[in-house]
Amino acid sequence: MSNIALALEGNIAVLGYGLAAIGPGVGVGLIFAAVINGTARQPEAQSRLQSIAWIGFGVTEVLAIIGIALAFVFR
């Protein structure tokens, strides 16, 4: 019917990156969910909560970033 080749081509490392991004995705979501909860309970603590959250966000997202770096390394 069409002349588009339907063969799946590519690198399994990209699939691995997709798996590696699940954990950090959940983790970053949890961090900011906690910040929203905390801010709703105690609005004046927002700036303190946010400064802690950004550090935690950086540490958590590193996992996804290491994943994308390794996906390029092992292609």
Residues in touch with another protein (CB under 8 A): 1-5, 47, 50-51, 54-55, 57-59, 61-62, 65, 68-69
- Structure token digits, residue 65: 């970033």
Cβ closest to another protein, residue 34 vs residue 68: 68
CB of 22 to another protein, least distance (A): 16
How many CA atoms are closer than 13 Å to the CA of 36, on its beta-carbon side? Answer: 6
State the DSSP code for 39: H
Q: How far is CA 63 from the centre of its chain?
A: 8
CB of 8 to another protein, least distance (A): 12
